[in-house]
Structure 1
């Protein structure tokens, strides 16, 4: 068995600076204003889904949280109020891709899917692959152990329907760069 130097004077081993925490989540300094807005919107939508709190009360509470000033407030507003206002429409799109009842879906994954679908529909300045990646990462950070896989399946299944031209163009571009054999 090898011994490691456990002396209190020994320097700690150097850690790589990757912008990720030990769990693989992005460090706060590496997060964009929109990513922060998505995190705050997720917390707010969780309060809506679990506590059935009113959007205005949730909004006031969330804006007082530490770090909110670093978030893209307009994107947060669009996500929070847009998802709540169109909840039935969002659920109608999501439900056919589920393998269980919506009531059995974690409120975190439910909110993440709402937000992803909302961005697919209303935030056309954000590429579909970025939307998909952002919400998979949110589900990894805040959701259950394999919740991100579920989110990936549902949002990945809706992307060709909600962003048909963009997804098709990406598939053509991917096919053009694939080796010919």
Structure 2
């Protein structure tokens, strides 16, 4: 699998999409949390003070800054992912190919999957298909190999497990072909 570049997206989400920005920032924060072994509140505080919002004289994604990010969503994702990490990691691991264990995943990919799985577990969040599409966009910002395909397949499976009612209610024509 092709790797990312140090937890920074290679592309960038469209400006003015604060919920997408929150998801990008959550992936970066979860990467940092794992690498530095920092708890959720420490990482949330650091990102709120140093990485979220516009910096003086710039509105870009330079140096890992996320100019547009919905802070409540960012905080909720990071907290849920860190607090539920053992269960989330187990759910992800159960659906990975046996020759590709969880520990072998790129650390940014692990962070992305944790963030997405945490958001999928939020019953008051957006519909599963929206969450999957958003994280697929984020995956394309970080990776240019097969990782987005892996993300799509895993999140579809995790979404069906977390919120089966959303898929049962879908008309057969709305479901993707196997």
- Tell me which interval the TM-score lies in, with the shorter structure as reference length: 0.7 to 0.9
Gaps of 5+ in 1: 1-22, 176-181
Matches within 5 A, 1:35-114: 35-63=20-48, 64-67=50-53, 70-99=68-97, 100-114=100-114
Question: Residues 158 and 56 from structure 1, CA distance in 2 versus in 1: closer, same or farther, beyond 3 angstroms?
Answer: closer
TM-score, length-scaled by structure 1: 0.75
2:85, 2:146 → 1: CA distance?
24
1:118, 1:39 → 2: CA distance?
14
Offset at 1:108?
Answer: 1.3
TM-score, length-scaled by structure 2: 0.76
1:152, 1:112 → 2: CA distance?
12
Q: Secondary structure at the match of 1:71?
A: coil
Q: Which has the higher helix share?
A: 1
Gaps of 5+ in 2: 1-9, 54-65
Residues 117-174 of structure 1: CA deviation (Å, up to 9, x unaligned): 1111114330111011011111110235221111111111222211111012124463
Pair member with larger Rg:
1
Give the length in aligned residue pairs. Answer: 151
Offset at 1:38?
Answer: 0.8
